[in-house]
Amino acid sequence: MKSPEATLENLSVRDVGGILPSTGTRELTCDVLAATLAEKINRLQGPILVLGASGFIGANLLRMVLGSRDDAYGVATRLPAWRLEGLRREHVRVTDLLVDSNLDHLLDAVKPRTIFDCVAYGAYSFETDSQLIYRTNFTFATRVLERLRSRKIAAYIHAGSSSEYGDNAAGPLEHDFTAPNSHYAVSKVAAANLIHFYGKKCGLPCANLRLYSVYGPMEDSSRLIPMLVRRGVERRYPDFVNPLTARDFVFVDDACEAFLDTALALNSSLFGESFNIGSGKKTTVSEVAQVARELFTIEEEPGFSMEGRHWDLTDWFADIERAKKTIGWQPRTAFRPGLIKTIEWYSGLEDKARYHRSSKKFGLDTKHSVSAIVACYRDNQAIPIMYERLKSTFLKLNVDYEIIFVNDCSPDDSEDVIRSLSMDDRNVRGISHSRNFGSQSAFRSGMMVASKNSCVLLDGDLQDPPELIEKFVALWRDGFDVVYGKRVKREAPLLMQFAYKAFYRLFDAFSYVPIPRDAGDFSLLDRRVVEAILQFPERDLFLRGIRAYAGFKQIGVDYVRPERQFGVTTNSLAKNLSWAKKGILSFSYVPLTVLSVSGTLLFCLTLLLMALQIVLRLLFPAIAPRGVTTLLLSILFFGSINLLAISLAGEYIAKIFEEVKRRPHFIRRSIIRDGEVRPAALSDNVGGDL
């Protein structure tokens, strides 16, 4: 029996069923093909821009073009991007294309004549965010095409999908009806129709390629062919779906050549058209398993127990006659030799484990996504630092996230700072209030629009260290619903340290619910807790008390609270006392109980003193108290008690008065997103989506 390594060596030179010629002839054929591709690439009008260049098809296309010319540029959302490693940095533009201003800056900087758009989301079964599917596949295409109308371009070629046909996938012609069966399919059909409009009605040189099952080097490691190769070199099968499920496999180099051919063939009669890009042959999963058995000499029987996707079909293949006749394209690589090329690429990888880990399937953790809500007041200098530290923390955690800065009518330029950050990062959003409503209302305002599975509340002055979120998330993953920061020490004057500790202990002693000591607002709240807290109707919020009242499974994380990094604190002694009063009156009846007990005791004492006075007058008249001093002291004492009782009762009545007015918790003045500040609508002030 041959070893897997020996098999791989032979794969590159064997004559596979008459499909590949002998080694010498094949090398000559490869040279001719390379020359043909180079000639096509050099005929393209430049500069050339590849959108979505960090993806599977985009990366292969960019590398193919850069092999022959130097005026090509690829766009990636972030670096590092493993598919683009080894390319010169000047050929890779890093920007978030879903932010309008970034797209404008990119087009102004590159001034492309040929654009290959490979941006997509939703093609994988684990990409399920329907809003992001439409925003990426349709809304983004709308923004690109509208901007290209005013620019002189030679060609815009869009990476569509055979999924556009949906249930009508058995060799459909380009003008046959579509029957989309997923959000992804609907979004791609919409983009194809949009391209048809811009091509036919606006005269824009554009076209849509309906790509079938593209495979080859650098494909996502979770897909069928990479899994087949990975298991095949071990002489094993991956688990397969139904053996009758069909695909139309097209090798990635052929798909990339289709982009070149379409761009070169575009004329006014083809503007806005779609073309099927596939092999024209149906290949079942059972046939894939058979080819793998022959190439890898696998002896075990394949298993077909894997659950299929709801859009899988038994007849899914292309009719490519129109592409052949109109743009002069046809596939050069059959499935078997394409698979061999993929095996050769895989066998040459130095770090195969890294390739396996690179899958989007193991990408951002969307289950443990986090909305960071930052209450800002006089924090314009701290906001950029807070953003960088939050971003660094979330990237380290590899979780889906958003950062919501709530500008509580800060008198500085906090709004402009937030707007600038949102221009470069679509994960950043902002809210500006019409006046200063306080941090508690700011947190509530942010929680009402948060879209992730948890919320982290932070003050914008950097006294809540974002790095602690890593521990918060770890404990959240372990099953805790609330993780709060516990201030074991403050970088503050000793008197203030003592005062804060005394307050929390007094608050805990007085409150009718257990209150964690030394715990502020800095905390992570599971989505269920957030929804529970938002049901609390009171206007005079004290979130750390409400958080304790809500219950759920809670735990604290010790940390040292630093001093404010910029400026001076906005908390005065009067504000701190007011804050303490708010907490105690919101979660304690002890002051009223003390008054009741004091009144009862004083009444009893009064009766006792009255009886004592009578006895003394009757039995010991000489020593009985006389004069106005005793009377005045008694009046002052009881008068003070009455005033204290009235004031305490008044505090509770004032809270009742505040609640029954039912004024809004806050009023939003503006919403900040994608570098734009727009006036807040009525729906934005009742918790509408930003």
CATH number at residue 264: 3.40.50.720
Shared-domain flag, residues 138 and 227: yes
Shared-domain flag, residues 183 and 213: yes
CATH code (residue 368)? 3.90.550.10
Q: What DSSP assignment string belongs to 112-167? A: -SEEEE------STT---HHHHHIIIIIHHHHHHHHHTTS--SEEEEE--GGGGBT
pLDDT of residue 486: 86
Cβ of 26: how many Cβ atoms within 10 Å?
15
Shared-domain flag, residues 463 and 410: yes
Q: What is the mean pLDDT of residues 261-273?
A: 95
Distance, in Å, from the CA atom of 162 to the CA atom of 210, rounded to the nearest integer, reads 5
- State the DSSP code for 89: G
Cβ of 375: how many Cβ atoms within 10 Å?
26
Per-residue confidence band for 49, with pLDDT thresholds at 50, 70 and 90: very high
Shared-domain flag, residues 682 and 624: no
Shared-domain flag, residues 163 and 195: yes
pLDDT of residue 6: 36
Shared-domain flag, residues 433 and 338: no
Number of alpha helices (DSSP H) and beta strands (DSSP E) in the chain: 23, 20
Cβ of 74: how many Cβ atoms within 10 Å?
29
Q: The domain containing residue 620 runs over which residues?
A: 590-661
pLDDT of residue 16: 33
Distance, in Å, from the CA atom of 274 to the CA atom of 46, rounded to the nearest integer, reads 23
Number of domains present in the structure of the chain: 3
ω before 47 within 30° of 0 (cis)?
A: yes
229-266 pLDDT tens trace: 999 998 999 888 888 888 899 999 999 999 999 999 99
For 120, phi and psi rounded to 5 degrees?
Answer: -160, 155
Shared-domain flag, residues 581 and 596: no
Q: How much is the pTM?
A: 0.70
Nearest to 56, CA basis, from 355, 310, 329, 435: 355
Tokens matching residue 606: 């009064």
Shared-domain flag, residues 657 and 579: no
Nearest to 556, CA basis, from 564, 544, 565, 546: 544
Region for residue 627 given its phi and psi (left: phi exceeds 0; alpha: psi -120 to 50; beta: otherwise): left
Shared-domain flag, residues 420 and 456: yes
Helix, strand, coil percentages (3-state) for the chain, rounded to 5, are 45, 15, 35
Q: Tell which of 361, 388, 407 closes a domain.
A: 361
Instruction: Give 48's Cβ-side CA count (13 Å radius).
Output: 26
Q: What is the mean pLDDT of residues 643-660?
A: 64
Shared-domain flag, residues 162 and 223: yes
Shared-domain flag, residues 287 and 324: yes
Q: Tell which of 361, 386, 415 closes a domain.
A: 361
Distances (CA, A) of 444 to 435, 535, 536, 543, 662: 15, 11, 11, 9, 16
Nearest to 233, CA basis, from 342, 361, 132, 72: 342
Q: What is the mean pLDDT of residues 168-176?
A: 88
Shared-domain flag, residues 558 and 619: no
99-125 pLDDT tens trace: 878 898 999 999 999 999 999 998 887
